[in-house]
Structures are given as structure tokens and as C-alpha cells.
Amino acid sequence: MTIDERIISKYTFSVPRYTSYPPVPYWKITPTAQQWLANLTLDQKDQKDQKDQNQQEVQVQVYVHIPFCHALCPYCGCYRVHLPSGTVDNQLQLIDNYLDDLLREWTLYLDALEERDIDIRKWKVQMHIGGGTPNILSAQQLARFLDSFFRDKKGHKIRCDYGSIEINPTYLPLNTNSKAATDDDFFQVLASFGFKKISLGIQDFNPHIQKIIGRNHSADLIEDLVVQIRKQGFEAINFDLICGLPGQTLFDFNYNIKQLERLRPDSVAYYNYAYIPTHAPLQQRLQEFAMMDDKDKFSSQIFVAQQMQSLKYLAIGLDHYVLQDDRLANAYRQGKLIRNFMGYSVGTNTSAAGVPTSIGILGIGASSISSSKKYFVQNHKDLAVYHQSLMAGQLAIARGHTRGDLDLLVDTIIQEIMCYHQVSNLNVRIEQLVSLSQGELTDTKLLQRLDDMQKDGLIELQYKNSFLRVTALGKFFLRNVALAFDYLFERAQRKSENDLQQGVEFSRTL
Ligand code: SF4
């Protein structure tokens, strides 16, 4: 693939990552807790009815956020909290208190379901535990939390259909004191509760890059971990890596690819580094290290994509590579791949048009985001505020959004682009966009934008077949292709009407 600097500079700017539509900075009209619960259970009730009619499974995705970290890595932009120094007993107690809050929040959901006569034992729950550092929990804490979580109010077991967890390999093993468990015990607990996937946050295998970003895990340590995880019978191992970290050069990618070839994880998320120092002030500490320019970043992304292809990985969505028999590869082939706040996963819910949707996430924990078809809500980030709300018997909702028909239509289009690199029924959708936006979007404007991207080689348009296909080049600018349909981004760009919340930025395309 040739590198055209004009294309790089034209399409490299701050763009949403589209893990939701609308993205968080555009949110407005926060639902009340009552509205949120009523609508969420209504969505689930619809699925239940659908199950009765079609014999389909009722599934719900649960995201659990563990915000604590042993140390704060300077490159990181996640919501996380430095575990205060003190005795290990004190630290474990603080984590225990937080786990109690998580269970209080979950109980509020169980109460709401019970009130509406929905039997959670008929659900198949898919849980993802993220952070922060989920493996900051001891094995005993993890077991206590999962055992309480996967029970209804009468103590009956709830089914865990699929579980995945993020692990920071720097802090394994977990035997930090005599009371805590070993990493073996930690993985055994996960396996016993139906967890199938372990995601290792490696970021970069090169020791000199790890030093810059505050990590310390050799390739040998990762290999030991992979052996151990496989021995426990987990279905899948994912590696998270980052392209564009401070200090990285094109040469560093060779070493990373060699490790992927050697260790062969089931999937790899090779993210583009989200450098937003105004949002994540610790990133300012990294300014002394050279960052690749856009051209080198683009070259490294091309290198990674080509190498992953030669290693027989399938490229799906944005930045994701999966082995051909991985669960996400099957979902991609079957049209069940979805993108939401948790990244890519397998969807079972479908829109009226039969397209997989991102509805139905319960986000548990400080800062967690939940979604139903109509609403988004996000919990308070402040641990004290989160705790106080739950102690008062209330969900800790800090903000949210109420989606209208136009939002849902744009969401469906963007899902298709971000998962499958295409838009089907293009002509109909353009008509619907123009009609629902009541003049804000015109077909002339939309078609001009699409034609322009076609001339630049990012997409191919077949108006006759009502189809848009993202090209190999366009896959590196997938967010830009999605942007063409994002009426709120365009509205925010117009100076006269600034919908963006103060101080929020998106990461750059490259
Ligand atoms: S990268 Fe992970 S371990 Fe490091 S600060 Fe961020 S969340 Fe914590």
C-alpha cells in the first residue's frame, strides 16, 4: 500500500472512537433512575416475550469496573484510582468495601427485576470485568464477589454464560502476602464461574518501551502466563497492544510481531494510542519522549496489518485481529459482531431490521456505563459519591442520554461500519437520515462527503446496489468513514451551536 501524505493529513484529526452512538460528550437529557430501570426491564421483557415466541435465549451483558491500580501508568487514559499505600490488610479491606458497593448496586437491579416479575434465572449473563486492575483482587475476594453476584435474592444460582477479564501482567502473581492467593488460584476461581477469556494488557513487549510506560513484564513472563492460562482450560487469550506509544519507533514492531508469532494468542487488539493530555494529565510526563509522526504511525499500522494477515489472523472491525476459529471470528462471519462500551463482543439482540444492536449492558461500578435501546447512563466516578448513593438505596447515576430515532438510525449505520466495514441499504438509509434530521442533514451534503471519500480511495460506493464498502486503505480511517454520518459531530463543529461538554476531546485518527 502506498503512503499518500495528503490523505494522512486530510483525515488525521480528533474523531470519536464510536463505542456508542451518540458518543458521551454529546449526551443530553439524562433519564431518572426510575425511567432507566423501567425501560431496561422493558427491553428485557421484550426479549423474554420474543424467547417465548421464538425459543430464543435471553442474554444480558454485565460490565464490572474495578478501578484500583497498584501504580498509575503515565500513558493511561482510563478511569482508575491509585490504591492508597498502607498495610496489605488495609488495602484488602478497601477493596472489600468496594466489592460490597458493587453487590449493593446489583441488588438494586435484582429488586427492579423482581418488581416487574422477571426471573433472572432464565437469563444467560455475559460478564466482563475491566479496570483499573481487576487482578488487584485476591482469589478469595474474587470468589466471594462472583459467588454473591451469581445468585438471585433467594440464593438460587444465576447462569454465567460467558466471562472475560482484563489482567495487568505486571502484577502477577498475586501472592503479595501470606493471606492472598497465588495466580493459579485466581485463574481457578475464574474458570469455576464460567469465565472463558483472559485479556492481557501487554501494550508493548519491548523492555525500553515498558520502562517509559511504567510496565515490567518480560516476554518470558507472558509466555509462562499463557501456558498457565491454557492449562486451566480457558477458551481464549487476548493480547492488548498499542501503536503510537511514546518512544516507539518502527523497529519496535518487529519484536512485538515476533512475540505474537511465538505465543499465538486467539485475538489481538492493536489499539491506536489515545494521547489526550488535557483529559489524562499524567500523559504530560511523557512529553520528553519522542512520538512517531503521523506518517510513521501509519506505516507501523500498515506493517502490523500485513504481518497479522501473514500470521493468518482475520482483521475485524477497528484494530482487532482474531484467529479464524475465535468466537469473534465466528460472530463476524455470522453477522453477530457488535461494538459497544466493552469493545467488540457477540450480540444476540437485533433491531427491527434484524441487525445486531448494542442494547442491554448493565455497567456496575464507579464510572461504568450502561445502555438500553433508549437510554445511556453512566455512574459517578467519585468513589465516595458512588458509595453514598448506594448506601441511600439509589443507583449512582451521574449522567446519561435519551436516544431518539435519528440517534438509533446513525447507531445502526455506524455499527455496520465499525464491525463489518460496509453500509447496506445505503440509499434508503440516506433518505431516512435526511427525513429524520428535518433538514439538518441534506442528501447533497451527505453524498458530497461520500463521493469525496470515494475519490480519496477510502470507500467504494455502489448507489445502484445501495451499498458502501470500506476499502483496504479506508480500514485505517474507519472512524472518519463513520464520521460522515455523525450529525452531532457536524453540529458541534458549527461554532454557533456547541453541544460538546467542556474540556472533552477525542483522540486523533492516527
Ligand atoms: S494501564 Fe491499567 S494498570 Fe496502568 S494505570 Fe491504566 S488501568 Fe491502571
What length does the chain have? 510
Judgement on whether residues 52 and 95 belong to the same structural domain of the protein = yes
Judgement on whether residues 273 and 419 belong to the same structural domain of the protein = no
Judgement on whether residues 371 and 425 belong to the same structural domain of the protein = no
Q: Is residue 499 part of a domain?
A: no
Return the CA Rg of the chain. Answer: 23
Mean model confidence pLDDT for the chain: 89
Which of ligand 1's atoms lies nearest the C-alpha of 166? 2
Judgement on whether residues 369 and 235 belong to the same structural domain of the protein = yes
Check if the beta carbon of residue 271 is closer than 8 Å to that of residue 323.
no
Q: Is residue 379 part of a domain?
A: yes
Check if the beta carbon of residue 179 is closer than 8 Å to that of residue 210.
no
Give the chain's domain count.
2
Residue to mutate (ligand 1; options 75, 76, 283, 285; most atoms within 8 A of CB): 76
Last residue of a domain, one of 372, 401, 430: 401
Position 42 scores a pLDDT of: 58
Residue 355 CA to residue 349 CA, distance in Å, equals: 8
What are the start-end ranges of the E strands in 413-465? 422-423, 459-462
- 397-418 pLDDT, tens digit each: 999 999 999 999 999 999 999 9
78 lines ligand 1 (CB under 6 A): yes
Judgement on whether residues 48 and 98 belong to the same structural domain of the protein = yes
Q: Is residue 509 part of a domain?
A: no
Confidence of residue 279 (pLDDT cuts 50, 70, 90): confident
Beta partners for 201? 240
Residue to mutate (ligand 1; options 66, 70, 75, 78; most atoms within 8 A of CB): 78
Judgement on whether residues 196 and 324 belong to the same structural domain of the protein = yes
Backbone angles phi, psi at 217, to 5 degrees: -145, 110
167 lines ligand 1 (CB under 6 A): no
Judgement on whether residues 424 and 396 belong to the same structural domain of the protein = no
Position 177 scores a pLDDT of: 42
Residue to mutate (ligand 1; options 72, 135, 170, 212; most atoms within 8 A of CB): 72
Report, as an integer, the average pLDDT of 369-378: 93
Residue 486 CA to residue 161 CA, distance in Å, equals: 34
Report, as an integer, the average pLDDT of 10-39: 93
- 69-114 pLDDT, tens digit each: 999 999 999 899 999 888 888 899 999 999 999 999 999 999 998 8
Q: Is residue 502 part of a domain?
A: no
Which H or E run includes 431?
Answer: helix 426-436
* Ligand 1: centre distance to CA 80 (Å): 7
Last residue of a domain, one of 377, 401, 425: 401
Judgement on whether residues 428 and 375 belong to the same structural domain of the protein = no
Residue 83 CA to residue 94 CA, distance in Å, equals: 9
* Ligand 1: centre distance to CA 168 (Å): 8
Judgement on whether residues 418 and 318 belong to the same structural domain of the protein = no
Position 398 scores a pLDDT of: 98
Q: Is residue 501 part of a domain?
A: no
* Ligand 1: centre distance to CA 214 (Å): 9
Judgement on whether residues 158 and 175 belong to the same structural domain of the protein = yes
Residue 76: all three cell numbers together: 493511561
* Ligand 1: centre distance to CA 286 (Å): 15
- Residue 172 belongs to domain with CATH number: 3.80.30.20
Q: Is residue 408 part of a domain?
A: yes
Position 363, amino acid: G
Residue 406: all three cell numbers together: 435519528
Residue to mutate (ligand 1; options 82, 165, 168; most atoms within 8 A of CB): 168
Q: Is residue 1 part of a domain?
A: no
Concatenated DSSP letters of 56-88: PPEEEEEEEEE-EESS--TT--S--EEPPPS-H
136 lines ligand 1 (CB under 6 A): no
Of 268, 269, 287, residue with least CA distance to 277: 287
Residue-range definition of the domain harbouring residue 360:
16-401
Judgement on whether residues 381 and 422 belong to the same structural domain of the protein = no
Last residue of a domain, one of 401, 421, 444: 401
Q: Is residue 497 part of a domain?
A: no
* Ligand 1: centre distance to CA 388 (Å): 25
Judgement on whether residues 351 and 446 belong to the same structural domain of the protein = no
Q: What is the pTM of this model?
A: 0.93
Position 122 scores a pLDDT of: 79
- Residue 431 belongs to domain with CATH number: 1.10.10.920
132 lines ligand 1 (CB under 6 A): yes
Which of ligand 1's atoms lies nearest the C-alpha of 201? 2
